[in-house]
Amino acid sequence: MTTTAPERVPTKAPHSLDALFSPRSVAVVGVTATPGTVPYDIFHNLLHAGFRGPVYPVAPGKRAISNVPAYRYLIDIDQPVDLAVIVFPADVVDRALEHCARKGVRAVVVISAGFREVGPEGQQREDRLKRLACAHGIALVGPNCLGVINTDPAVRLNASFARKMPHAGRIAFLSQSGALCTAVLDYAREKQIGFSKFVSFGNKAGVAESDLLEYLHHDEETDVILLYLEDLRDVRRLVAAAQRVTHEPPVKPILAIKAGRTPQGADAAASHTGSLAAEDDLCDAAFREAGILRVDSIDELFNTAILYAYQPLPAGDRLGIVTNAGGPGVMATDAAVREGLRVPRLAEETQANLRGVLPATAAVKNPVDVIGDARADRYEAALRQVLADPNVDQALVILTPQSMTDIEAIAQAVCRVHEAARDGRPAADLPRVAPKPVACSFMGATDVAEGIRVLQQAHIPHYILPEWACRAMAGVQAIRRMFEEPPDVARRLPVDDMAVRSVLDAAPAGYLAEHEALEVLEAYGLPVVPWRLCTTADEAVGWAEASGYPVTLRVVSRQVVHKSEIGAVALDLTTSEAVRVAFDALRDRVAAARPDAHIDGLLVRRMIPAGYELILGAKRDPIFGPVVMFGLGGIYVELFRDVVFALAPLGPRTARNMVRRAKAGRLVEGFRGGPRADIAGIEECLVRVGQLVSDFERLVELDINPLLASPAERGNAVADVRIRVA
């Protein structure tokens, strides 16, 4: 790794999951004598993967399994057992776990299915396992999982029903789906991808992804962690654990697939924030905060992981391309730019050197086209020059199989240059440079197969399509940026939380009255223009005279939520007479339209000048906790859906990134000659809303829509607010 990555400090303290990954002895509980069944295969796999310690089969009624003496019960084993793998049917797993507790087993993997995934009865069974494991301090993996693999040559544990032990490698794979694991193992084997640890954690009744991340953070065999998740439960714990992995030495990237991206059942909430806060968006927000790089497919997961795991971290985003075909070179350039990489012109000196080693028809600027008849010598010379170029941080070698192309020899040439480049010296006669990653795309299938094999054996990442290579490189750039940016810290701003508490304590469940909502926002320092709740026209006129015109009037009643629909709002009142007339008219209109409504009074306040209409929202989500939303406001919020989310509380940098990510952010910067709004003020509003929703559990939904954003001299102002309390 280059100096851009924070230092990787080897540390290894005893961990509660040591017994899971590096047990001294293993018992398989519930082994049967029938090959082809999960209980038999797990025992078989443990034996044949070459586990370094004793393996005990617990197989009631059997004398031996595969010539290994069997035990009727776990507690009959006269030696200590660190790890037990339970393969009994669901209804007796609890009894087996009780035996584990009596025996002092420290880690248990429950392979068996038939728990929470099958309904209430299964949930009860699972709860019982959870209680037992918790009471006895057992690290419980599963139930309903494939098992655990540790390829460390000192351990060689295959406590799973995956038939083949994967190759050893620097990638850890954690999956909630067991079936996916078998597919991934097969996929990885074909691509010569190795694993350090491989864990299927199933229903996560005990050990969850957060625990595994904590363990792998300090696992010396692991450089990168891949995660497949189906449901999120303790999001805040996951975020905290992931932040430590991605930001505290030894830092490691986490790449994750979170299945279930399609919007479903965003609860039929009345507020904009409630209806817009789809789980997938909140998941994005949580992963962003955690430093987890979210990807969409298994291909992308591994494409990025192997580039990070096998190659040095590039110092920047500049890509040099060497190709023997013009078309794929252009495609690669397009893809690189689309993914946010740069394809710079090579240095003059490099171009001159290339002209010396390539035919006159070759292109030497970048992409470097070595021409269709190029053989290994030309590729080697070109790649050395490109990697030595000061304008290049990484290289992509593209090959199409043409009649002159000696594919295997070119692959070997790439390996030679790569090895030299890894040491910072791609060519003996060129100056030393920082180590630079190399990736290849040998396009095709059968003709290029042998060349690909040579590359894979040398751990040079290979991608069938140059576009995939570019995407993987962009993924590594995202990792680099994530490493370089420390987690944002939410510092408390001074607020009057007692004032909010007194409003909320007096409020029934449901929407706060408008004046109450305004009091809450004022107490948290949000820009609320002066207002007063008046019960008589005289009072309203008096306030308006003292404060200045124009003013607005709004009827305040818990029963009247949509004010403008029944004419409960009057705008731009410029005289005392206008205020008086409007006051009586509004009151009468509401009394006629909603005779049941109790009118608290009429809210008179200074008219807010027009500005950019933004929405600032907050929601307390059952899984993600308090979250904040920002986007384009007004009545078309749901139509344009220009909203972004962050977990609350949030720090100033997160607020800044929220504004930048939304299209509304470009608008307030002054789009097409428009004035630039007080962006720092908007960001501060987001921090304050985050603090508010974090501080009060009863506050479940909040919409400021619109916040009217204006240039700093005029400032931003809350035009309308709705707050729902539980």
Partner 1 sequence: MPLHPKGEHLMDRSEVEQRVKKVVCRVLKVDEELVEPSSHFVFDLGAESTQSVELVAAFEEEFGIELEDDAALAVQTVGGAVDFIAKHLE
Give me the least distance between CB of 96 and partner 1, in Å please: 7
Q: Does 119 bind partner 1 (CB under 8 A)?
A: no
Give me the least distance between CB of 387 and partner 1, in Å please: 59
Nearer to partner 1, 88 or 195 (CB): 88
Q: Which of 92, 259, 449, 726 binds partner 1 (CB under 8 A)?
A: 92
User: In whole angstroms, what is the distance from residue 288 CA to residue 264 CA?
Assistant: 21
C-alpha dihedral sign at 100, 106, 110, 115: positive
Give me the least distance between CB of 137 and partner 1, in Å please: 23
Q: Does 236 bind partner 1 (CB under 8 A)?
A: no
Nearer to partner 1, 72 or 598 (CB): 72
Q: Does 183 bind partner 1 (CB under 8 A)?
A: no
Which of 83-91, 111-119, 556-564, 620-628 is the region at the interface with partner 1 (rule: CB under 8 A)? Answer: 83-91
Distance from the Cα of residue 3 to its chain's centroid: 25
Residues 6+ away with beta carbon under 8 Å from 387: 320, 395, 417, 421, 426, 427, 433, 436, 438
Give me the least distance between CB of 88 and partner 1, in Å please: 6
Q: Which two tokens stand for residue 36?
A: 């082809």
With the CA atoms of 547, 552, 555 and 561 taken in that order, what torsion angle do they form, in degrees rounded to the nearest 10?
-130
Q: Does 595 bind partner 1 (CB under 8 A)?
A: no
Q: Which of 76, 80, 91, 536 binds partner 1 (CB under 8 A)?
A: 91
Nearer to partner 1, 38 or 504 (CB): 38
Touching partner 1, residues 17-46 (CB under 8 A): 30, 32, 34, 37, 39
Nearer to partner 1, 39 or 626 (CB): 39
User: In whole angstroms, what is the distance from residue 157 CA to residue 21 CA?
Assistant: 8
Q: Does 84 bind partner 1 (CB under 8 A)?
A: no
Q: Does 134 bind partner 1 (CB under 8 A)?
A: no
Q: Does 72 bind partner 1 (CB under 8 A)?
A: yes
Structure letter (DSSP) for residue 195: E
Nearer to partner 1, 31 or 309 (CB): 31
Nearer to partner 1, 60 or 530 (CB): 60
User: In whole angstroms, what is the distance from residue 351 CA to residue 49 CA?
Assistant: 53
Give me the least distance between CB of 95 and partner 1, in Å please: 5
Please compute Rg for the chain using Cα positions: 32
Q: How many residues bind partner 1 (CB under 8 A)?
A: 16
> Residue 479 corresponds to which amino acid?
I
Give me the least distance between CB of 62 and partner 1, in Å please: 6
Q: Does 433 bind partner 1 (CB under 8 A)?
A: no
Nearer to partner 1, 112 or 311 (CB): 112
Nearer to partner 1, 38 or 569 (CB): 38
Q: Which two tokens stand for residue 201?
A: 């954690």
Largest Cα–Cα distance of the chain, in whole Å? 102
Q: Does 95 bind partner 1 (CB under 8 A)?
A: yes
User: In whole angstroms, what is the distance from residue 268 CA to residue 275 CA?
Assistant: 6
> Residue 586 corresponds to which amino acid?
L
Q: Does 9 bind partner 1 (CB under 8 A)?
A: no
Q: Does 102 bind partner 1 (CB under 8 A)?
A: no
User: In whole angstroms, what is the distance from residue 496 CA to residue 528 CA?
Assistant: 15
Q: Which two tokens stand for residue 415?
A: 């390996």
Which of 90-98, 259-267, 368-376, 508-516 is the region at the interface with partner 1 (rule: CB under 8 A)? Answer: 90-98
User: In whole angstroms, what is the distance from residue 513 CA to residue 106 CA?
Assistant: 56
Nearer to partner 1, 5 or 31 (CB): 31
Q: Can you state the angle between helices 449-457 and 407-422, rounded to 10 degrees? A: 20
Q: Which two tokens stand for residue 284?
A: 């994005």
Other beta carbons within 10 angstroms of residue 411's beta carbon come to 27
Which of 78-86, 91-99, 518-526, 624-632 is the region at the interface with partner 1 (rule: CB under 8 A)? Answer: 91-99
Asked whether the beta carbons of 259 and 231 are under 8 A apart, the reply is no
Q: Does 69 bind partner 1 (CB under 8 A)?
A: no
User: In whole angstroms, what is the distance from residue 72 CA to residue 27 CA?
Assistant: 12
Give the position of tokens 């012109």. 345
Helix H, strand E, coil C: the string for 635-699 is CCHHHHCCEEEEECCCCHHHHHHHHHHCHHHHHHCCHHHCCCCCHHHHHHHHHHHHHHHHHCCCE
Q: Does 121 bind partner 1 (CB under 8 A)?
A: no
Q: Does 59 bind partner 1 (CB under 8 A)?
A: yes
User: In whole angstroms, what is the distance from residue 504 CA to residue 520 CA?
Assistant: 9
Asked whether the beta carbons of 705 and 615 are under 8 A apart, the reply is yes
> Residue 411 corresponds to which amino acid?
A
Give me the least distance between CB of 126 and partner 1, in Å please: 18
Q: Is 322 helix (H, G, I), strand (E, B) or coil?
A: strand
Q: Which of 62, 247, 416, 606 binds partner 1 (CB under 8 A)?
A: 62
User: In whole angstroms, what is the distance from residue 213 CA to residue 665 CA?
Assistant: 35
Q: Which of 43, 88, 287, 645 binds partner 1 (CB under 8 A)?
A: 88
Which of 20-28, 60-68, 168-176, 312-320 is the region at the interface with partner 1 (rule: CB under 8 A)? Answer: 60-68
Q: Does 61 bind partner 1 (CB under 8 A)?
A: yes
Give me the least distance between CB of 147 and partner 1, in Å please: 19
User: In whole angstroms, what is the distance from residue 669 CA to residue 176 CA?
Assistant: 43
Structure letter (DSSP) for residue 490: -
Nearer to partner 1, 37 or 457 (CB): 37
Q: Does 96 bind partner 1 (CB under 8 A)?
A: yes
236: nearest Cα among 205, 254, 210: 210
Which of 47-55, 86-94, 545-553, 599-607 is the region at the interface with partner 1 (rule: CB under 8 A)? Answer: 86-94
Asked whether the beta carbons of 276 and 638 are under 8 A apart, the reply is yes
Nearer to partner 1, 119 or 249 (CB): 119
Q: Does 666 bind partner 1 (CB under 8 A)?
A: no
Nearer to partner 1, 71 or 173 (CB): 71
Interacting residues toward partner 1 by CB under 8 A: 30, 32, 34, 37, 39, 59-62, 72, 88-89, 91-92, 95-96
